[in-house]
Amino acid sequence: MSAPDVPGSKETPAPELKPLSLSAIHHRLFRAYGPQHWWPADSPFEVMVGAILTQNTNWRNVEAAIASLQAAGMLDGSRIASCDEARLGELIRTSGFFNQKAVSLKAFCRFYLDHGGAAGLKRLDDPRRALLALNGIGPETADSMLLYALGMPVFVIDAYTKRIFARLGLTRPEASYHQLQEFFEEHLPMDAGLFNEYHALIVEHAKQHCRVKPLCAECPLLDRCPTGQTSA
DNA sequence: GGCCAGGTGTAAA
DNA sequence: TTTACACATGGC
């Protein structure tokens, strides 16, 4: 038996609430929030550092950590790779989980240098698998690096994506990372530029409206959202 | 003062 | 295979 097309077809929305297609949702979000110009970083390396630092952490805290690395002249692969862990932890302290992240970041930088930087990573047979083999890099971090640093067409799933599309009735709240990723990649053209913008718009939408406590009033998707219809 | 933030790894059930 | 928990800072 093949998996259902939509990993959330258990509770179908009310018939008069025809779900929007993923493309239609993208279009609406783009109209609402405009171009996002992601990832906010100056180089592929900085994107990858940010991807590690932002794990379960507010981006604002990450910006401060990156600024601190920058100010110390440490925003550099070989300097991080050879930096004392305690010192590195202090530099990235504001990003939270700084002891773990210091270890992960050092390991990643060694890996990055060993493989010849971003261009070298992109030439690997299976860069995703290589990244996932590193301690401290899971699917979201790896995919963020692939998409936003290496420009590869990989759809990034995060907590916001789960929340928004479950509320829209398109996916199940308990769907796995892999299931959600498959859903997006099967229903959209495999276009890195599109994936880039779409994920960035998802983040913006989650921050502005689809929060844990949703602000449905001005939501650009409200008329097609079963959750918003019932909770408003 | 509690909740939330662009997760991941480990260990117990 | 699933679930629980540790990891930590800072803004609202």
Query: Distance, angstroms, CA A175 to C1' C1?
Result: 15
Q: Is residue A54 located within the same domain as residue A29?
A: no
Distance CA A210, CA A191 (A): 25
A4 is a domain residue: no
Query: Distance, angstroms, CA A20 to C1' B1?
Result: 40
Evaluate the CA torsion angle A175, A179, A180, A184 in order and state its sign.
negative
Q: Is residue A173 located within the same domain as residue A210?
A: yes
Looking at A114, A134, A149, which one is the last position of a domain? A149
- Cβ–Cβ < 8 Å for A169, A226: yes
Cis peptide before A39 (omega within 30 of 0): yes
Q: What is the DSSP letter of A225?
A: -
Q: Is residue A71 located within the same domain as residue A31?
A: no
- Concatenated DSSP letters for A69-103? HHHTT--SHHHHHTS-HHHHHHHTGGGSSHHHHHH
- Which nucleotide, over all strands, has the C1' atom closest to the CA of A58? B5
Looking at A149, A180, A197, which one is the last position of a domain? A149
Flag residues 61-100 of A with CB < 7 Å from strand C: 61, 64, 93-94, 96-100
Q: Is residue A176 located within the same domain as residue A198?
A: yes
Q: Is the CB of A212 under 7 A from strand B?
A: yes
Q: Is residue A210 located within the same domain as residue A188?
A: yes
Query: Distance, angstroms, CA A182 to C1' C4?
Result: 27
Looking at A125, A149, A173, which one is the last position of a domain? A149
Distance CA A50, CA A151 (A): 16
CATH of the domain at A172: 1.10.1670.10
A17 is a domain residue: no
Which of the nucleotides in strand C have any atom less than 7 Å away from a protein CB atom? 3, 7-11
- Cβ–Cβ < 8 Å for A106, A87: no
Which residue ranges in chain A fall short of pLDDT 50? Answer: 1-14, 232
Q: Is the CB of A37 under 7 A from strand B?
A: no
Q: Is residue A55 located within the same domain as residue A97?
A: yes
A6 is a domain residue: no
A113 is a domain residue: yes
Q: Is residue A56 located within the same domain as residue A138?
A: yes
Would you mind telling me the total number of residues written for chain A in this entry? 232
CATH of the domain at A67: 1.10.340.30
Query: What type of residue sits at position A198?
Result: Y
Helices (H) and strands (E) counted in chain A, each on its own, are 13, 0
Which tokens sit at A60?
């604002």
In this prediction, residue A228 carries a pLDDT of 86
Q: Is residue A63 located within the same domain as residue A140?
A: yes
Rounded to whole angstroms, what are the CA distances from A80 to A25, A70, A107, A116, A160? 40, 11, 9, 15, 30
Q: Is residue A128 located within the same domain as residue A197?
A: no
Q: Is residue A102 located within the same domain as residue A186?
A: no
Q: Is the CB of A58 under 7 A from strand C?
A: yes
Distance CA A187, CA A167 (A): 18
Q: Is the CB of A208 under 7 A from strand B?
A: no
Q: How many CB atoms lie within 10 A of CB A196?
A: 21
In this prediction, residue A8 carries a pLDDT of 43
Residue A52: give the domain boundaries. Answer: 44-149
Which of the nucleotides in strand B have any atom less than 7 Å away from a protein CB atom? 3-10
Q: Is residue A214 located within the same domain as residue A170?
A: yes
How many domains are there within chain A?
Answer: 2
Q: Is the CB of A55 under 7 A from strand B?
A: yes
Cβ-proximal residues to A110 (8 Å cutoff; 6+ apart), any chain: A81
Q: Is residue A92 located within the same domain as residue A164?
A: no
Which tokens sit at A102?
């210091």
- Cβ–Cβ < 8 Å for A46, A75: yes
A13 is a domain residue: no
